[in-house]
Structure 1
Amino acid sequence: MLFDDTYKTIAAPVEALFKDKGSKFLSYAYPLSQESEVKEQLLKLRAAHPKAVHFCYAYRLTPDRNIFRVNDDGEPSGTAGRPILNTLLSADLTNILVVVVRYFGGTLLGVPGLIHAYKTATAEAIQLAEIVEKSVNDIYEIKFDYIMMNDIMRLIKEEQLPVLRQEFDNDCMIMVEVRKSQVNKVLQRMEKQEGAELKYLYTV
């Protein structure tokens, strides 16, 4: 199969601590589903750590891992965000945000020292996290007449499609999750249901 329909992420937020020459590096890893959540987490961390000097981070998003961003937040360029991201790359994780909060301890660590500290702090958090494998699923909406209910429900049951929402009236609507590797098969079966309308919504 050309398309890999699974990806690895973390199950729940974790935090870890790495110390070097008096500096403290608190690393926070969060499961992430959209970019707007990044700002929210940063605001919470800044409020929780008013005396910290740097809030460096990296994140990766989407199952095909093509959305990512790094931020050095005032540290020398390439010494913080990039090492955090590289650690996520080597663990092959996506849909994840890691923020490393630094308290300066009075001693400069230099570029190699900083890279090591941010990388290690990130690795420590990942080690504590529960890594989970998730499948890539497309969300579809099925619209049909009430008289087709049994046929549609049978298809959903046989294909083991999780139902996210349903509305039953004269016109019925069911929102289902279809695993990427199953999509073609489900679409072919749906096309045989005369009068049923299938609409792709988004991918999770």
Structure 2
Amino acid sequence: MSSFLTVATRFEAEMVEKKSRFLAAAVPVRTESDALAALSEVRARHPGARHHVYAYRMGVQVPHERFSDDGEPSGTAGRPVLEVIRRQGITNVLVIVTRYFGGILLGANGLVRAYTEAAAAVLSGAPKLHCSRMCDIQVTCGYEHYGKLTHLFEQQDLRIYHPEFAESVRFTLVVMEESVPSVLTLLSDATSGQAACEVSPASYVGVTDDGELVRDVWPEPASD
């Protein structure tokens, strides 16, 4: 296991089905305590709601999963929410769907559909973190090579971080652990071996949809 997908920040969405309001929230979590705290916060914000259905999934190799129908008929709410999380391949996330009853019964099929759609809407809209084991490569090169390297990096979809321009150019590449040898070869070939490279130990790094880095990510649940 070298990569996983999670949500970058809390995200909320709302839908209405036959006058019932479904307020969905996707929350990044690393522990069961995180999940319970977020659930308590939502319950406090919506004391008049009829149900606070939830599901969470944490970890990658052997995911820890839990769901609750919170008073809805068994199998019509929490499990459909969990199935959406699974289908979207997301982990370390809690999805809460709060329902304000609108006076019209939806029936079992209607409930499954409504909770499924609410969970899918909030997870589809939530900003994502694409997390992998990655290494920093600190590169120092001459100006005569920098232009060529930037062109090669564009072709390889490599992004330059923290460039510094002094007597020489210094910058950082953040690459997948398994790609380090090929990137080092590219740097050596492009600069005739003149680029100085320092590789950091691999760690899990998240990359947002905008290409920003998030360092504090971990694939497995943290201990409470």
TM-score, structure 1 as length reference: 0.67
1:119 Cα deviation (Å)? 0.4
Say if 1:7 and 1:136, in contact at 8 Å, map to a contact too. Answer: no
Say if 2:60 and 2:219, in contact at 8 Å, map to a contact too. Answer: no
The answer to whether 1:160 aligns with 2:157 is no
1:67 Cα deviation (Å)? 0.5
The answer to whether 1:135 aligns with 2:132 is yes
Aligned length: 145
How far, CA to CA, are the matches of 2:203 and 2:23 in structure 1?
Answer: 39
How far, CA to CA, are the matches of 1:36 and 1:69 in structure 2?
Answer: 13
Amino acid in structure 1 at the alignment position of 2:70: D
User: How big is each residue's C-alpha offset from its partner over 1:36-74, in whole Å with a ceiling of 9 and x where there is no partner?
Assistant: 111111111111001001000000001225210010000
Equivalent of 1:44, from 41, 44, 47? 41
Equivalent of 2:56, from 51, 54, 59? 59
1:158 Cα deviation (Å)? 3.8
Q: What's the Cα RMSD here?
A: 1.9
What's 1:110 paired with? 107
How far, CA to CA, are the matches of 2:94 and 2:67 in structure 1?
Answer: 10
What does residue range 1-204 of structure 1 map to in structure 2 within 5 Å?
A: 4-135=1-132, 158-161=198-201, 178=203
Amino acid in structure 1 at the alignment position of 2:88: A
Point out 4+ residue stretches in structure 1 off by more than 3 angstroms. Answer: none
* 1:65–1:23 distance in 2 versus 1, CA, 3 Å: farther
How far, CA to CA, are the matches of 1:33 and 1:135 in structure 2?
Answer: 16
Give structure 1 stretches of 5+ with no counterpart: 138-156, 162-176, 180-201
Amino acid in structure 1 at the alignment position of 2:34: E
How far, CA to CA, are the matches of 1:20 and 1:134 in structure 2?
Answer: 35
Identical aligned residues as a percent:
41
SS of 1:83's partner is: helix
1:160 Cα deviation (Å)? 1.1
SS of 2:15's partner is: strand
User: How big is each residue's C-alpha offset from its partner over 1:160-202, in whole Å with a ceiling of 9 and x where there is no partner?
Assistant: 13xxxxxxxxxxxxxxx645xxxxxxxxxxxxxxxxxxxxxx9
Amino acid in structure 2 at the alignment position of 1:101: T
What's 1:194 paired with? none
How far, CA to CA, are the matches of 1:203 and 1:116 in structure 2?
Answer: 30
How far, CA to CA, are the matches of 2:133 and 2:111 in structure 1?
Answer: 36
